[in-house]
Amino acid sequence: MDYKNKVILAPMVRIGTLPTRLLALKYGADIVYTEEIIDRKILNTERIENKVLGTIDYVSSDSTLVFRTNSREKQQLVFQMGTANAQTALNAAKKIEQDVSAIDINMGCPKEFSIKGGMGAALLKKPETIKEILTTLVKNVAVPVTCKIRLLPEIEDSLLLVKMIEGTGVAAIAIHGRLTEERPRHPNRNETIKTLAQHLTIPVIANGGSLEIQCYEDIAKFREATGSSSVMVARAAQWNTSIFRPEGILPVKEVVKEYLKLAINVDNDFPNTKYCILSLLHADMDQQEGLATQAAKSVEEICDIWGFADYLARAVESRKRNREQADHCHGIKRRKTEDGTSLVEMPVRFIKKDYGIGESPKQRVYLWTQKQPKKKASYDTVERTEDRCYKSVLTLDGVKYTATYWEKSKQLAEQAAAIVALAVIGEHDGRKPDSTSPNDEVLRAWREEFQMSDDISAIYRHKKVLFGSDAAKNRLERAMEEDDGNSSLLNGGKLDFDASNEKLSVVSS
């Protein structure tokens, strides 16, 4: 990645998510930075190719989306990492390097959460740690490495620091022209950045000039004032991302609409979408759209406010079709374990509010075994040491059942495994009748895609009773038609379906 003569979207917490980065690129930014993501946080994620959205997602064990990117931005994307340890930083960098074009280490964040962890601006007091982190990454990572710093009180100390950083082999250095304790109301020390730039051979990216940047032309003025190779824009882009347009800045409301389209396209979560829109509207919060957006409690409400209800509906329908094509089994897996035991895995969770007292899935499994004394149930629950999350495997009648997700407690993990088992053996899991759950689509897919296949085979072999939905009945009828329309499948019987309990059976004719 080339860092010379570039206009760059700065890393900003909660702002630098995928929709804002894509919007900045649309308006003319050359490079975009992610928000700072802590090394351990990215390490505790699973990399998922999201075929529905066309994105790469890094998702934590509790299903929280930590980082999302797509191919549109890859060649211009810098992943900013928070770290205080060279080896942990390297492990995280190796995990992410295939999906980004460069990695930046945050050495300038003055916020308490970062300082307390020995990250951000706290590193400015630990030059040896800085050297170790950067040297380790430069030697072992396949993409360019940079860092972003703040100034030290004495210019001589800042000069020693940037020269040491240059010596680690980084591709560029971003300099915010304020001290750690200074805030945006304090003037940016442009002359200090200029002095440091004159002593360096690597590109210097000047930052901290948002109060001086009111239009695109001001970016060039800031570059000249700081003697830098490139300019990194933060607050000016947060307040109006069209600051990157060489043709001129656009009205904020037009920018909001462009942002909202992108947020819908990549299924950005509602809290972040609302936060970014309110940031764009910071000067117009008292206008009708601003007040309504502040009060909005869902993405649907925001889309109604901005005239995007139909756009959202089309996007949701498109995602539904893509999801069906990408994974008609909704993540259900069935396989043999090393010891030859069958294992069924489903992406389901136990949501406590959906169950009454004494009506948990574990309780239902227990009651089932009481009615059938020969059927035994046992839970094998393990803890993942890095984040203290749990996963449980329930063995019931010689078959193993587990949920895809790692949970925050042993109880949640075991309840989820019980939900899987109950679905497979055809027992209700005790959920309240009027509740709806994210598990519904998964359980429906089990009945229609897996259980029905087993039941069709069973009809051929044993002419036994089976369970399924209307769709399952239709599949069986199609299978019968493929059997040349004769009655060999039913052995002279006929198909009977009771929709009230979803019971499908073969009865004598």
Q: What angle do CA 282, 285, 291 make, to 5 degrees?
A: 140
Ranges of the chain with pLDDT below 50: 455-469, 472, 483-491, 497, 499, 501-504, 509
Q: What is each CA distance from 384 to 240, 342, 381, 407, in whole angstroms? A: 43, 23, 10, 10
Long-range contacts of 209-213 (CB under 8 A, 24+ apart): 209/177, 209/233, 210/184, 210/234, 210/235, 210/236, 210/237, 211/184, 211/235, 212/188, 213/243
- Residue 483's pLDDT is 47
At which residue do the structure tokens 């003055």 appear?
Answer: 110
- Residue 485's pLDDT is 44
CA distance 61 to 73: 26
Question: Is the separation of the CB atoms in 425 and 368 below 8 Å?
Answer: yes
At which residue do the structure tokens 């570039």 appear?
Answer: 6
Catalytic residues: 109
Is beta strand 31-33 parallel, antiparallel or unpaired with respect to 77-82? Answer: parallel
pTM of the model: 0.73
- For 493, counting Cβ atoms within 10 Å of its Cβ (0-12 exposed, 13-18 middle, 19+ buried), the class is middle
| Type of residue at 144 | P
- Residue 311's pLDDT is 97
- Residue 484's pLDDT is 46
Both tokens of residue 370?
């009481």
| Type of residue at 453 | S
Rounded to 5 degrees, φ, ψ at 59 are: -120, 130
Give 192-223 as a DSSP string. Answer: HHHHHHHT-SS-EEEE--GGG-SSHHHHHHHH
- Residue 329's pLDDT is 72
- Residue 441's pLDDT is 86
Query: Order of strands, edge to edge, in the sheet holding 333-336?
Result: 333-336, 342-346, 399-403, 389-396, 377-384
Query: Order of strands, edge to edge, in the sheet holding 494-498?
Result: 466-467, 503-507, 494-498
CA distance 202 to 238: 28
**How would you write 70-112 as a 3-class SS string?**
ECCCHHHEEEEEECCCHHHHHHHHHHHHHHCCEEEEEECCCCH
**How would you write 320-374 as a 3-class SS string?**
HHHHHHHCCCCCCEEEECCCCCEEEEECCCCCHHHECCCCCHHHHHHHHHHHCCC
Q: How far is CA 41 from the centre of its chain?
A: 12
Q: Cβ atoms within 10 A of the Cβ of 498, count?
A: 9
Stated length of the chain: 509
